[in-house]
Structure 1
Amino acid sequence: MIYLCFLLCTVTVSCSSTSPKNPLETEEEPSDYFESSFGKIAYYTKGKGPKLILLHAAGHDHRDFDAILPALISKYQVISLDWPGHGKSEWSSSEEISAVFFPTLLREFLEKKAPEGSILMGNSIGGYASLKLALEQPNLVKGLILVDTGGMNELDISSKAFIKLKSNIWFTSMIWNFFPKFYTKIENVHTNQMLDRIKKAKLEPKAVETNASLWKSFLDENYNLRNFVSQISQPTLIVWGKNDPVIYPKFGRDLHDKISDSEFELLDTGHIPFAEDPERFLQILFGFLSKRNL
């Protein structure tokens, strides 16, 4: 995962850094809302063709994929979700928000909106939900694109210590703006807008609490799929940023070794490859989808 001392050094440096001014970004309304067991979920539908579901990382929203969306909708019906407590989606469950509930929410959504099966593209926590669903409901998953995915826990002492710190509201609040800068290694218009959105998200009620609770859930034994992923049979593309300081590329290689029908690609990026290097990401993605007839 991440070494705490390295992070804190980076945070100190980040405090003095500046970014170019970004173009104004318009905020679109959801295509519709889905009433899940955990709350009302906003989703966005564009394009026509086979269904491709986009699932973002914790603390982010569906707009992370904006850099690649125009290319995707030329060939697919793309459905982007905001996870509960993110974007325009709600968390109304009496349960504390946890990543381990997200696969159930995703199953509920796909059973209603895409029962014939979809391609799932998940980044970080979105990758975990995709993996879990592919294991539990393989009929809903035609293919997997896993990008710097969670769910492959192999935590050392420093990783556990950081997760425990990040599970505290005060610590998550303190590093809110700096942590995404730390794991995003390429600066462009897309990543700058992404970082701006994250900064603004802190103003939303319960945003910090939601993020801290999600990090706490990363220690849940149900978040660790390492011993089960070898059962996945769907064609799988695994893409990783080789400079990701949060979830190291070795976890991607481990995943590739365990999933027999998988391909592994490294990009010269951080944790969000499709925003950091969209052209190369699309080249890899469309090559895989074409070869697998997805």
Structure 2
Amino acid sequence: MTDNDLLPLLEQRLLGLYHPLLADTVATILFSAGGLANWTVEVERGRARARRGRPSHPTTTVRAPLSVLTEVASGSRSGVQAFLDGDLTVRGNLALALELDGLFPGEDDDDTRTYTRSVRAAGMETFFLESGPVDAPPIVLVHGLSATNASMLPLIPALSKDYHVLAPDLPGHGGTEARSGAHGAPYLGDWLVDFLRTTCGDEPAVLIGNSLGGRTSLEAALLQPDLVRGLVLLCPAVAFRRLRQLVPFVRIVPDEIARLPVRIPRRVAMRGLRQLFADPARIPEPWLDAAMDEFIRVISIRANRLCTFSALRHIYLDEPFGETGFWERLPGLVPPALFVWGDRDVLVPAGFARFVAEALPSAESVILPDCGHVPQFEYRERTADLTRDFLATLT
């Protein structure tokens, strides 16, 4: 490679490459090392080419020192790992940035890298991340409302050495297809069951879910316990037991109201994102920026906005009691489970731990002090340690 010029390496790596997941994509990725050191990768229907300079409106911007960009482009270092290490930042379309390890793959036998995949689950094209040995026990990570599988990234390198890790985007989130329908627990549970059957076959998987992903994982385990080996539930969005005065009103509000154009000011959305954490200062600012870019990108798409709003409505409408009520069904959960709560979670109070203990005396429950709603980001090592310790107990 010519000193201070990434272009020869980019051209070499992209020559003859065809990326099937980008077959319908037309986009530009700006690689910037600062100042005039800029290179553009133009993606068009599965193929890519590089040139010097910057595009007028990049789809995704990747910034890092030239040495880091060289490592990523050469395949000697995972782009995902460089992002998690804080050596690389991403702005714009985060889902496209997650394709970096596919555009610039490493060694064929390197199981530690994270790759993007796609399958059809419940009739929907489902985008997911994959890492770890394919013959290892499967683990499926399920993210929360208005997030993407990127919100589960901190757990992937912690688990992929010993497990086959898959992290799908929920329907209507990230890169997964958006379809109309009531996005309640039954709908999402059926989708996850089909994803498990499609990707894991007959081997039961451990499900690790955050927020809505936790509730979706519980539903899948209640529907098909034979497909689930165990559950790690990070602040799961369980059914409200109180504060249900607005249920009659919410029932009559149609999902279709979300079809109306909406613009959420970035500063307002960022304030809401920060409130998910007990101490937002624990989260690197580039991570917050990347998450906010992706949220605004996805929520601006009408079909995705409809799915997100429908899922939000049904979190509140989730029946707590009665024959089909969540709390009446929970004692029938078969797979072993670990529940992790944050004592400063403003969305799912840690007080739910008491009711879970009554319904599932055998389940393990941990309340993390000074933690908000996303423990896998706020307490990365502690959450990974709890998860690994629980996995070690499974037979």
TM-score, scaled relative to structure 1: 0.81
Q: CA deviation at 1:236?
A: 0.8
Aligned partners of 1:191 and 1:275 also within 8 Å: no
Q: CA deviation at 1:261?
A: 2.4
Please tell me the residue identity of whatever aligns with 2:231: L
Aligned partners of 1:152 and 1:251 also within 8 Å: no
The 1-side partners of 2:269 and 2:385 are apart by 32
The 2-side partners of 1:248 and 1:166 are apart by 27
Match 1:273 to one of 372, 375, 389 = 375
For 1:213-228, what aligned pairs fall within 5 Å after superposition?
Answer: 213-218=310-315, 219-221=317-319, 224-228=325-329
Aligned to 1:52: 139
Compute the RMSD of aligned alpha carbons: 3.0
Please tell me the residue identity of whatever aligns with 1:137: Q
Residues 1:263 and 2:364 aligned together:
yes
Aligned partners of 1:184 and 1:272 also within 8 Å: yes
Q: CA deviation at 1:156?
A: 1.1
Q: Per the alignment, do residues 286 and 172 of structure 1 end up closer, same or farther by CA in structure 2, a change over 3 Å counting? A: farther
Match 2:188 to one of 102, 120, 144 = 102
The 1-side partners of 2:151 and 2:249 are apart by 25
Q: CA deviation at 1:135?
A: 1.5
Q: CA deviation at 1:61?
A: 0.5
Q: Per the alignment, do residues 177 and 22 of structure 1 end up closer, same or farther by CA in structure 2, a change over 3 Å counting? A: farther
Which 5+ residue runs of structure 1 have no aligned equivalent? 1-20
Aligned to 1:3: none
Please tell me the residue identity of whatever aligns with 1:36: A
Higher Rg: 2
The 2-side partners of 1:163 and 1:285 are apart by 36
Q: Per the alignment, do residues 123 and 265 of structure 1 end up closer, same or farther by CA in structure 2, a change over 3 Å counting? A: same
For 1:1-294, what aligned pairs fall within 5 Å after superposition?
Answer: 23-25=88-90, 27-29=97-99, 31-48=116-133, 49-92=136-179, 94-114=180-200, 115-157=202-244, 160=247, 169=258, 174=264, 176-187=269-280, 188-189=283-284, 192=288, 193-218=290-315, 219-221=317-319, 224-267=325-368, 268-290=370-392, 292-293=393-394
Q: Per the alignment, do residues 22 and 207 of structure 1 end up closer, same or farther by CA in structure 2, a change over 3 Å counting? A: farther
Q: Percent identity?
A: 24
Aligned partners of 1:233 and 1:259 also within 8 Å: no
Which 5+ residue runs of structure 2 have no aligned equivalent? 1-85, 100-114
Please tell me the residue identity of whatever aligns with 2:299: K
Q: CA deviation at 1:132?
A: 1.4
Number of corresponding residues: 272
Aligned partners of 1:185 and 1:270 also within 8 Å: yes
Q: Per the alignment, do residues 166 and 281 of structure 1 end up closer, same or farther by CA in structure 2, a change over 3 Å counting? A: farther
The 1-side partners of 2:205 and 2:356 are apart by 21
Look up the SS of the partner of 1:206 in the other structure: helix
1:121-141: per-residue Cα shift (whole Å, max 9, x none)?
Answer: 011111111111211211101
The 2-side partners of 1:160 and 1:184 are apart by 27
The 2-side partners of 1:22 and 1:283 are apart by 24
The 2-side partners of 1:96 and 1:107 are apart by 17
Aligned partners of 2:142 and 2:152 also within 8 Å: no
The 2-side partners of 1:197 and 1:208 are apart by 13
Q: Per the alignment, do residues 280 and 203 of structure 1 end up closer, same or farther by CA in structure 2, a change over 3 Å counting? A: same
TM-score, scaled relative to structure 2: 0.62
